A and B are shown apart, each in its own frame.
Chain A
Amino acid sequence: MTQTAIEFRSVVKRYGDATAVAGIDLAIGKGELVTFLGPSGCGKTTSLRLIAGLELPTEGQVFIAGRDVSRDPASARNVGMVFQSYALFPHISVLENVAYGPVIRGTPKAEAQARAREILEQVGLAGLESRLPAELSGGQQQRVAVARAIVQQPDVILFDEPLSNVDAKLRRKVREEIRSLQRRFGLTAVYVTHDQEEALAVSDRIVVMDKGRIAQVGTPTDLYEHPANPFIADFIGDANLIRGTVAQGRFTAPGMALPVSGPDGPATLSIRPERITLTPGGPDRVVSATYLGSRMEYTVAAQVGEMLVSRPIFEPRLKAGQDVSLHITDTDVSRVA
């Protein structure tokens, strides 16, 4: 991390008796794309709005570009925001939408519009300047929203679930566009989503939130392969959580023994479904076999309980009722408790 763009210091946000954010400490580096990920009501959107200044913290401080902005309203901060509904002003043209911010901040109108034109060209919307937002397609509207957010060279650009209004088919393309724009302009970005696949695909780092707190911060690989606790393991991707005990560096559970690190005592392991291999014949039994096109998914009754297993489609297929054995090696598991 070169330089800190945004910093949360013990930030708490309460609404009456309800606590939305229960104490967050976090630093986001310049040029980084950080995602807030979590189930609904976890405080991710509130955290985003705290950066925007659309909410002010009850306790703690928020710093943007090294300045304490905890008491500054949104209008006094230099942030760009892309809203879930895009929030384009329907009564003015695309050009006026993009030039709105610079005009508000005192740039002469002609200069603001020239800058807006330039940005619109860079996001591939040249020629549509004089349209009204309602006359654009959803994807185009979103690019206008992004153009409007970056035209003022903000300290940070905020994305509030930007793909939720995009057609499922288009999501991959749009999120790649967002990512490439962010890299091209060297923007610091904070991105909120409840979709873990989207978060894995788009982020430099992911902040997983749960009940107003940060559950884990890390790169997509970190989070997927080394989840810090059962909540993360279960929330990001699918996981088989196995309870057992550790003694002298060995984890034991019914029908299972693996070397693990960490202290002795009760422990929980997380095993990803695609890390488990199955061979015909053995003590375990296939309960259900589901064909998913790109892969096969099996539920296997093992001694430790039901296990979810995901296998590539080109492997020999197994049938429900068939006896199998599970194969897991110590590099395939991570200890989550």
Chain B
Amino acid sequence: MQALQGRIGLFWSGLLMAAVLALPWYKGGATLASALSEGVAGRVWLLPLVGAALALALLSVATRDWRVHPAGAALVGAGLGWLLLQGFGIGLRGPVLPGLGLLFPTAQSGQPGFGWGAWVAGIALIGALAEVLAARGFCRGERFAAFSIIGIVAALSLFVFFPILKLMSAAFVGPDGTLALAPFLNRITASDLWSVGCLTGAGRCGVVINSLVLGILSAALATALGLALALLVARTDFRMKRLLRAISILPIITPPFVVGVAIIVLFGRTGIVTVEVAEWFGIRPTRWIYGLPGILLAQVLAFAPVTFLVLLSALEAINPTLEEASTTLGAKPVTTFRTVTWPLLRPALAAAFLLAFIESLADFGNPIVLGGSYDVLSTKIFFAVVGAQYDLGQAATLSVLLLTLTVAAFWVQTRWLGRASYVTVTGKSDAGLVAPVPPLIKWAAVAAVVPFVVFTVGIYAIVLIGGFVKDIGRMEMAPTFGHLWTAFSFEINANGLQLFGSAWNSMITTLWVSALSAPLTMAVGILTAWLIARQDFTGKRAFEFGTLLSFAIPGTVVGVSYIAAFNVPPIDITGTMAILVICFVFRNLPVGMRAGIAALAQIDRSMEEASQTMGAGGGRVLRDVVLPLIRPAIFTALVYSFVTAMTAVSAVIFLVSARHNMATAYIMGRVENGEYALAIAYSTVLMLVMVACVAAMNWAVGKRRLGRRTGVTGTAQPAE
């Protein structure tokens, strides 16, 4: 065992040696010099790192166990600290921290961003740090768990918290790099943020007020509609239950602005419905749909399925014997509903409302398409960065506001509602029959749901047809594949397959990014879930809250924060495909994590402990026992991250470049140009690809039922 641990130690110090001696330290490919040769050539601040690497290698060979040696811990800590200090302290054009300039005169010429050498050195130092901590009892001495935790914390700090902090600092820092509170105060108190003119009838409202009004209306309507849907499915003999469940999946695979485009095609000034109404009733076509009504319509259609799922599971979790008890005590159905069912549903209603509220605030696709002159925070942030005047300070200030709102809503949801949920399922089988809702409520629900279904069907009909007719916006319904051909034309000639269509570039990038980020997201998410569900370590609660918090950060804010953080050394990765992949991995992390935690809760922990006592380390336990048993959750996480990566627009719109454009950003551009048919055709292709993936998931999960079922048997009373 000692020998093995010695070997592992040698691995990390060997990796560190390779990183400082052999790999190109800086990014860009202009120079392939290692840290050692760069250090000798004048960037002397790299030499301490080389020294630390050599000392650590010496220590791991000379001592019996370098991990418990005080010098080992000191070297690793100092190495990691110095790596970060010099990286962030000396920028592209010279020292950022003045002290470093005095210490190293040659630093005036600056240094490029981290390259392979620096990244590998960082990973090696993190690995060594995990070894040092595990040897001191962290994670019960499990090295794999220690490495995972430290690695994930480092990654989250780098790719979630560092960008947010950087963005916040951009809100307070003037263009010359000094602290400037006055501009921040000016911006944050500006009347175009807070004006309530539209409510008092004196002009327009501020962006914040607009966002809040939209968020509250949208969340309230979506919750009401979701409740109507849930009641119909769970508590009535309504015949279209399957259709309703199918409709609830649609928003997951729909790019955010597709609904918006379809609404324009239907209700825009030259829209199908508008024109018909004008002919029949002589109402003059207007642009009424642009603004609050249009965004609201699109958001309610998009979020109702989300609230529906939340409320459906809450309704199904209510123990029917409670309602039966009320009936046996003499209550009429309406009274039972009012005094038992409704109070039990209240926490779920609040949760659904807050969820839709967060989604509405974070929504970017619908406001940008349908907003007209109705500005909301997310679009305003976008125009502050992308518009005519690049104003990062303004974007940062708005982002701080938006982030405060969503995080506050998220905080309320997790803290306050977490305690108030009434779970009445006890594990005992309660053979009660669910009480059907009173007729009055049933018909109210039907009245709400029918228009929803009609709208949804209409909108998806537009999406299906629109891409394959000449111009659906003007009702020219001649079938054509022209739009598809514009986007995806190709030719097979002497040079092989040649892709000419304008959309190929973005489609291929999208597939690459999705295919790369989905397994990474799944891996990091499941690993995080395993750490949270199974490991005890110092700081676990903060770790858990940190990972969940990234869920509450709106995509727009993520996009701006990545621009703020990653277009300068040491980590200058804007314009690469890597930044797109990283962005998706950390945005979708909570999804994989939740799937993993739910699956792990079903699995008896002692199976993992059995594996450990038989000699398996953490990684082996994960591979042999955990992963085979939670395979369905793995597939769910995988496909969900894949689909989200294909449909997301808010964060990537900031991060795409001419070379690495993504499908959603490309479609966005077509929408802005009014090329609706092309946009719709492309969206259809995108959705078909995703449907194929969902089908693949269903197929794969369906085959793997066995593992889960027997997994549960392991925890329950074994059959005699």
A-B contact count (CB 8 A): 123
Chain A residues, Cβ within 8 Å of B142 = 73, 75
- B613 partner, pick from A80, A89, A134, A137, beta carbons under 8 A: A80
Main secondary structure of the interface of A (DSSP, over half): loop
Chain A minimum-CB-distance residue to B629: A91
Contact A74 B613 (CB under 8 A): yes
Contact A165 B718 (CB under 8 A): yes
Query: With the chains together, A55 CA to B717 CA distance in Å?
Result: 26
Contact B612 A75 (CB under 8 A): yes
Chain A minimum-CB-distance residue to B616: A104
Contact B610 A75 (CB under 8 A): no
1/0 contact trace for A145-189 toward B, CB 8 Å? 000110010000010000001010000000000000000000000
B63 is an interface residue with CB less than 8 A from chain A: no
Chain B residues, Cβ within 8 Å of A136 = 718
A101 is an interface residue with CB less than 8 A from chain B: yes
Query: With the chains together, A79 CA to B612 CA distance in Å?
Result: 10
Chain A residues, Cβ within 8 Å of B136 = 71
A87 is an interface residue with CB less than 8 A from chain B: yes
Contact A86 B718 (CB under 8 A): yes
Residue of B628, B718, B719 contacting most chain A CB atoms (<10 Å): B718
Contact A89 B719 (CB under 8 A): no
Contact A91 B616 (CB under 8 A): no
Query: With the chains together, A134 CA to B575 CA distance in Å?
Result: 53
Given contacts A89-B607, A101-B615, contact A72 B714 (CB under 8 A): no
- B140 partner, pick from A73, A137, A167, beta carbons under 8 A: A73
Contact B613 A100 (CB under 8 A): no
Residue of B136, B614, B628 contacting most chain A CB atoms (<10 Å): B614
A246 is an interface residue with CB less than 8 A from chain B: no
Chain A residues, Cβ within 8 Å of B615 = 75, 101, 104-105, 152
Contact B714 A87 (CB under 8 A): yes
Given contacts A85-B606, A85-B714, A133-B714, contact A75 B617 (CB under 8 A): yes
Chain B minimum-CB-distance residue to A15: B536
Chain A residues, Cβ within 8 Å of B343 = none
Of the 9-residue stretches B226-234, B246-254, B705-713, which lies at the interface with chain A?
B705-713
Query: With the chains together, A87 CA to B140 CA distance in Å?
Result: 20
Chain B residues, Cβ within 8 Å of A256 = none
A138 is an interface residue with CB less than 8 A from chain B: yes
Chain B minimum-CB-distance residue to A76: B1
B191 is an interface residue with CB less than 8 A from chain A: no
Which residues from 426 to 449 on chain B have a C-beta closer than 8 Å to any C-beta of chain A? none
- B616 partner, pick from A72, A75, A90, A167, beta carbons under 8 A: A75
A52 is an interface residue with CB less than 8 A from chain B: yes
Contact A85 B629 (CB under 8 A): no
A94 is an interface residue with CB less than 8 A from chain B: no
1/0 contact trace for A31-71 toward B, CB 8 Å? 00000000000000000000011111000000000000001
Which residues from 77 to 118 on chain A have a C-beta closer than 8 Å to any C-beta of chain B? 77, 79-81, 83-91, 100-101, 104-105
Contact B720 A83 (CB under 8 A): no
Given contacts A87-B607, A89-B625, contact A71 B141 (CB under 8 A): yes
Chain A residues, Cβ within 8 Å of B613 = 52-54, 74-75, 77, 79-81, 149, 158
Query: With the chains together, A139 CA to B552 CA distance in Å?
Result: 50
Chain B minimum-CB-distance residue to A54: B609
Chain B residues, Cβ within 8 Å of A73 = 140-143, 612, 617
Query: With the chains together, A104 CA to B610 CA distance in Å?
Result: 12
Query: With the chains together, A132 CA to B707 CA distance in Å?
Result: 11
Contact B609 A74 (CB under 8 A): yes
Chain B residues, Cβ within 8 Å of A134 = 710, 713, 718-719
1/0 contact trace for A286-328 toward B, CB 8 Å? 0000000000000000000000000000000000000000000
A141 is an interface residue with CB less than 8 A from chain B: yes
Which residues from 594 to 638 on chain B have a C-beta closer than 8 Å to any C-beta of chain A? 604, 606-607, 609-617, 620, 624-625, 628-629
Query: With the chains together, A133 CA to B606 CA distance in Å?
Result: 15
**Nearest CB in chain B: distance from A310 CB, A:** 33
Chain A minimum-CB-distance residue to B608: A87
**Nearest CB in chain A: distance from B607 CB, A:** 4
B175 is an interface residue with CB less than 8 A from chain A: no
B669 is an interface residue with CB less than 8 A from chain A: no
Contact A104 B620 (CB under 8 A): yes
B137 is an interface residue with CB less than 8 A from chain A: yes
Chain B residues, Cβ within 8 Å of A158 = 613
Query: With the chains together, A105 CA to B715 CA distance in Å?
Result: 26
**Nearest CB in chain A: distance from B604 CB, A:** 5
Given contacts A73-B612, A81-B610, A101-B615, contact A87 B604 (CB under 8 A): yes
**Nearest CB in chain A: distance from B72 CB, A:** 15
Contact B614 A152 (CB under 8 A): yes
1/0 contact trace for B681-715 toward A, CB 8 Å? 00000000000000000000000001100110111
**Nearest CB in chain A: distance from B239 CB, A:** 39
**Nearest CB in chain B: distance from A166 CB, A:** 9
1/0 contact trace for A199-224 toward B, CB 8 Å? 00000000000000000000000000
Chain A residues, Cβ within 8 Å of B617 = 73, 75
Chain B residues, Cβ within 8 Å of A104 = 611, 614-616, 620
Contact A74 B714 (CB under 8 A): no
Contact B718 A141 (CB under 8 A): yes
- A83 partner, pick from B137, B140, B609, B625, beta carbons under 8 A: B609
Contact B720 A137 (CB under 8 A): yes
- A100 partner, pick from B624, B628, B710, B717, beta carbons under 8 A: B624
Contact A100 B611 (CB under 8 A): yes
Chain A residues, Cβ within 8 Å of B604 = 85, 87
1/0 contact trace for B164-182 toward A, CB 8 Å? 0000000000000000000
B135 is an interface residue with CB less than 8 A from chain A: yes
Query: With the chains together, A55 CA to B713 CA distance in Å?
Result: 26
**Nearest CB in chain A: distance from B248 CB, A:** 32
Q: Known contacts A89-B624, A100-B611; can you find 7 more A-B pairs with CB under 8 A?
A: A87-B606, A88-B714, A90-B711, A134-B713, A141-B718, A158-B613, A167-B720
Binding site for A on B (CB under 8 A): 1, 135-137, 140-143, 604, 606-607, 609-617, 620, 624-625, 628-629, 706-707, 710-711, 713-715, 717-720
Shortest beta-carbon contacts, A-B, top 9: A101-B614, A90-B710, A73-B141, A74-B612, A87-B606, A87-B610, A83-B606, A138-B718, A104-B615
